[in-house]
Amino acid sequence: MENANILVVEDDADINRLLCTILESAGYACRSAFSGSEALLWAEKYDYDLIVLDLMLPGVTGEELIARIRRGKTMPIIVASAKVGVDHRVNVLKLGADDFIPKPFDNAEVLARVEAQLRRSREFSAPRADVLTVGPLTLDRDSHTASLGGEELPLTGREFDILALLMENPRRAFSRAQIYEAVWGEDFLGDENTVNVHVSNLRSKLAKADPDRSYIKTVWGIGFKLAEAEARG
């Protein structure tokens, strides 16, 4: 994993030092903040690759810090907290946190979750082409239009984003969780129906424009991918 700059926000000096030791042992650069107010100053001044924060902070609370960071920053945020109730976890995820680690934490789990969030962040923040073309499908980000064989498709915003994700990665199968997190920008909480409905509607619009070919393939046990040229059975 390439170097990343991580902001650790924890008012307990021993836990803060432990988290930085864990992260630095894996090659990450770590900056410590000991209050929500201090963290907000650092987060506004620098673009960190990831933030690990506690909820019970002096000054600005962890919940308020997440909300204020999310007004202009998109880096992954992992909450490490002893407030492990379901309501607390759901609340911070809705505010904009990407993951939750309960205290006391396991060192290996901290690293695994940090690596996973950084990997996902880099994957979906890579430079993207303005115009995508796969076979007869064309998608233009600037005009926010998609066409099939020259016929414009009447897609909703979510359908457009799903199609863009599949066209950017034509050989990759995406799980419903991956599609949801990439398109909706929220943590997936297990409701597969939302993705299923949007994919079904997208398929219907593609089929209306070209009834002789299937464009989205269901990969059993995984999710969906862009289909290779194949006629409908």
- How do residues 167-218 score in pLDDT, each as one tens digit? 988 889 999 999 998 888 877 888 888 999 999 999 999 999 999 999 999 9
Tell me which CATH homologous superfamily contains domain 5-124.
Response regulator (3.40.50.2300)
Among candidates 177, 124, 135, 224, which has minimal Cα distance to 146?
Answer: 135
- 23 near 17, Cβ under 8 Å? no
SS3 185: coil
- 126 near 136, Cβ under 8 Å? no
The answer as to CATH 1.10.10.10 being correct for domain 131-226 is yes
Sheet of strand 137-140, all strands in order from the earlier edge strand to the far edge: 131-134, 137-140, 145-148, 151-152
Residue spans of the domains in the chain: they are 5-124, 131-226
- How do residues 86-132 score in pLDDT, each as one tens digit? 888 888 888 888 899 999 999 999 999 999 889 887 776 666 668 99
The model's pTM: 0.57
- 114 near 50, Cβ under 8 Å? yes
